Structures are given as C-alpha cells and as structure tokens.
Structure 1
Amino acid sequence: MSAEQPHVDLRSDTVTLPTAAMLERMQRAPLGDDGREGDPTVRELEARGAALTGKAAALFVPSGTMGNLLAMLVHAERGKDVFADSGAHLLNSELGSVVEIAGLVPTPMPGRRGAMDEAALEEAIRTSGQPGLIAMETTHNGAGGTVLPLAHMMRIHALGQANGFAVHLDGARLFNASVALDVSAARIAEHADSVMVCLSKGLSAPVGSLLCGSQAFIAKARALRKLVGGTMRQSGIVAAAGLVALETMIARLSEDHAAAKRLAAALSWLDPALADPDHVQTNILRIDVSASAREAAAWAEGVKRRGILVQASGPSQLRLVTHRHIDEAAVDRTIAAFAALGR
C-alpha cells in the first residue's frame, strides 16, 4: 500500500465522517440547555424522528445502546424476561445493559437469519410467567444485515400484545431496512411499541440516536435518561448534524447496498464458500472463512497489509460493512486484496 493511499475501512459504518452540510449546520444551530428549558435544535430533531418513524414522540440520546437500555427500563420491571433472537445485538454486545442495569432475564430464541422462531417464542412466553419485553432487530447485524419480513414483525407484535409483553425494535439501521424494502420507516416501526434508530452509522452523523414511542413512553424515558447520565447540554450542535442526516442521507443508502452486493458477488466468484450474494440485502456482508486454511484473524491481518480493514468475528467469520466512503475504487481494492490473499 502506498503512503498516499489511505486504508479502505470496512470495519463498520460508524467510521463515516460528517458531511460538509452537517458541519455547516452545526455552526449555525440555535442552542439551549437540553437539561433545563430545552435545546431548540434537539427538539426539532426529535420531532423529525418521531414523524419519520410514525411515533408520537422521540428522545435524542448519545448512543443506540442507551436508547435500547431506556426502552428496557421503561417497558419492563426488574426480574422480567426479555426475549430476542439468539444472535441479537442486544443479547450479545449489550448484555451488560440487559442484566446489570435493567435487571432483566435474557432469553435467547432460536431463529433463522435474524427472525425468531414464532412457535418457539409463543411457547417460551406461555411458560414464562414473567411478562417483560420482546425485542426485534432490523436490519439484523449478526445475520449479515438481513431485513425482517413485515408479516413476521406483525405477528410478533400481535403475540406480544396478546400476552402483555411490550415489543421494542432495535432499529439501529432501520433506514437501511426501509430502503431495502422500499417502504417508509414508519411502515416498519408500526409493528413495535418503541423503536431506536442510529444517526451515526450509514447516515453519517458524528454521534447520536433517537428513541421513539408514545408520549407517555418518551416522558418516562426522558426522566430515566438523566438517571443513566445521558442528559446533554447544548446538544443541538450534534443534533444539527442528525437533522441533515435525516434530510439528505437516507435515499443514498441504496448505494451502500449495491456496493455490498458487488463485493459478495466477486468474493463468491473467487470462492463460493466465502459469501452467498443472495443473502446480502443491505450494507453488511458476513464472510465465512471456515473452509480455508486461515482463521478470521489471519484473514483480517492479511488484507490489512494490503490496505483493507475488516472485522474478525470469532474464528471463522469476517464482517464487512459498506458506507458512503466506500466507492467503486474501494470495492475494487477490496476484491483485489482478497484475491491476492486467497492465492
């Protein structure tokens, strides 16, 4: 790799940098103390987020993890069950929030490509006796950016309503799902009582997420946000970037999806065991290296020496995430790096 050529960073879409329009809006944003009388730019962002998700209200929080935590704290009492797909981000990367802070009992459900087995969930609810929370995730990170079918989400929501369980949607990449399904984000979010969306992934805002739900739900979440240290002050500075993200960055997510599909097709051509292009729906690509002579960490180190940054997930998987900094040239460099390493 030449000194003039930067790395192609496919570790996550969180590496995206704010756009020039975001930086300009940040400079002129009206500000206030969001922990006191309120910040006008934050309030504008919250109203916009609520409208896009079809919910009555929204709350700006520093991270998606905090948004999911607040949903658990509002929806479920300590000691209750939280049901989610076994590969869900909530039960893997956020387990400390689930157990240590929210005090809930994690109950992983079997599923296929991020969608919980509905019969297994119904039986688990029947035997639970501890109505708490059902959590869905779309797009589903662990399943390679898959999108939950709307009919499945509708049935899960109905199952929760019939059994006294609130349903929360981890929609960190909700707008990727919206673009992939060609439906509004609200059309997806209507199948959950609350939804969290991230602004700092493919939408390219520097920081922040939105938790959306009913007026009563958000009022409780706002009070609990202070409890967990999430109240910010002149947070309109970063909320301004979030507004630009929602206004200008959603439609272009299709470009990221196309880049991921192109990568998958090329890697499958190099070795069909590496990737299945038919499984790539959005901007996340899971590479299976179990049939090769190298473990995932060795693959990651090998392509890094060729200027490509990817994330090893366990001994046999790599995760590649496309975003607005991954153009056609970056895709070509990535394909070339994997081809060279595979020889």
Structure 2
Amino acid sequence: MIFWVLVSLLTAAVAMALLMPLLRGRPASGIEMRGDIAVYRDQLAEIERDRAAGLIAAEDAERARAEIGRRLIAATDAQAHRTDPDRRPRATKAAQAVIVLLLPVLCLGIYLSEGSPDLPDQPLAARLASPDGDVEVLIARVEAALAVNPADGAGWEVLAPVYARRGRFPDAAEAYRKAIQYLGETPERLTSLAETLIAAAGGQVVPEARQALERSAALSPDDPRTRFYLALGLEQNGQAAAARDAFTKLAASAPVDAPWLPLVRQHLARLGPAGASPSTAATAPGPGEQEIAAAAAMNEEDRQRMIEDMVGGLAARLKARPDDAEGWQRLVRSYMVLGRPEEARSALKEGLARFPADGEAGQALIALAKSLGLSQEGP
C-alpha cells in the first residue's frame, strides 16, 4: 500500500512540474495594453499642438512623432496577439489534458509491463542465507521476534542452520529442538539436529544424536545422510561388523558420482573385509559414553576446554602416527568446530601430504573440506 501511495505522489509532482509553465498567463493584460495605446495617441496630439504653437521646431516634432508612432505600433501589435488564461490555443489545452490524464496511465502501463508488481517479498531464510547487510543484525531481529513469540516454529527452523553455519552449535541444536517441538518431526529436522549435535561433540555420534537419527530413519529409511551417521555411530562404538554391513549397503545404493561415496569407501577400507580385525585407525581411542555423558552435563566453558584437550590429543597422536586418514578428517572437523579455520586448513594440508588427492583417502579429505567451506588457499 505504501508503495502505491509513493508512486501516486511522485506522479502528481511530475504532472504539476509540467503544468506550471502552461498555466502561467502573459505578464501584460489587455487593459494595460489599451492604456498604453491611449497614452501614445495623446502624446502625438500634444506634439501637434506644440508644433502649431511654435513651442518646438518642426524637425524635433517629426523625430518625436516617429518614436511615439513606433511605440504605438508595437503596443497595437501586442494587443492583437495577446493570450489570456481563458483564451489559450487548443494545443495548450491538449497538452494539459495529456499531462493530467495520460501521464499517470502511461506510467502505470510501463510499470505493469516492465516491472514486477506481483513479485513476493524475499523470504527471511533467503535473506539470512545471502544477506546484503550484517547477518548479525538479521539474527538479532529474528531472536527478538522469537522472544515475543517463542512458539514460532518456522522462525526457529530458519534460525537453526544460520547458527550452525556460524559455529554456534549449541544454539543451533536448541533451535532445531524448538522447531521439532512446534512443527513436528521430519527426517530433515531430525537429521539436522543430529548433525549439529555431532559437530558440537567433535564428530562423535552422541546418544541424543543417535536417537534423533533412529527416529529419522524410521520416517525415511533411504536417506543417505541418516544412514551414514548411524553407521559412523556403530563404528565409533566398536561394532565393526554392524558398521561394515551398514557402510556396504550404503555404498551399494549410492550413485556412482555421489560426492560422499569416497568417504564411505574409506570407512570400509579401514574396517576391512568381513571377519577381519578393524585397522588401528578404526579402534583409535576416543571419548567413551561416560565421557560424552559427562560433557553433556558441563557448562559451556568446561565443555569447550574438554573438546580442546581431546583435539590436542588427536593432533599429537597424528604427529606420531600420520597414517590415520580418518584421524585427519576428525582433526580438520574438530578445528572447524572450535572456530579455528587456519589450524583446520593446516591439518588439511598435512593430511593431503600424507594422502594425496588422487587416492580415496585424499578425495574424502577434500570432500570433507568442501562440506565445511574450507579451502587449502585460505579465505
């Protein structure tokens, strides 16, 4: 509504600017011109009287008569061609009609044909994904709206992935929980919640993430992302045979050009064939269920310190045993979780130096880096 009011005001302003010159009359009126003519005629008569009385010379009288006659002719000609406001030419009136009536219609027609009057407002999710200004300002506005209306599930669903992209994983997980609470469970919401919880735990499939994945799998059994994280959880819990079977089925159903297929094959290579013992990397030490449960009960500062200690231990172990391809992936992912992209980039380069990009392990590292928005060259 405001848009159309502004358009109307602008059109009216343009029309008035064009009409003003046409509405102005000539500065001299007919009465003024008739008065000038009478004065000139009186002056001619007075000159004749003065010449007859001998008050002026005949030569001077002739010159004065010629000048006054010239002025009289000019005044008479101006009166014949004067234009009063109520006697303007038809062309002027036609121009006024065009400006007043046709100009708004013409502008409206051009806008309807060349503009986009039915274009909808850009959704909030799109503006947050590709903001023109400061994304923190947009986040603050959404947070303020959710503080007033906390039951707005759509608002929580919009905010959750934005939190995740900015590394605010606890906030993202809570936003996904709110979206599920108010909008219901869907495979996408449940798997996104699980993925956020896994990222917050440094790549570990924690119990709450596993439960969300199991509910997602019940709704959509063929979702490859859900299946991958469930298989990863089995592997991390030491269930090598079950993990091998899950990864094998996932690889068999994957398109040949699936970007995540090299990562699945790498897990299968680490687990080895059926009946074989998993490789050293597959049984590498990591946080157990008790440690994970303890971390969940910690405050944010203590949890962050615990994750940093785990990451430091992983980095030291990879220095001693750099042949752990999965370990390099975990280290890159962990540094990104901690908000340390430079160290993640350094770990990526070290991993690719050990596992070149033309092999499956190297391809898996590159695929992980792309999913995290990390490049080898830097931002």
TM-score range, shorter chain: under 0.3
Q: Higher strand proportion, which one?
A: 1
Give me the TM-score of the superposition, normalised by structure 1.
0.28
Say which one has the larger Rg.
2
Higher relative contact order (CA 8 A, sep 6+): 1
Give me the TM-score of the superposition, normalised by structure 2.
0.26
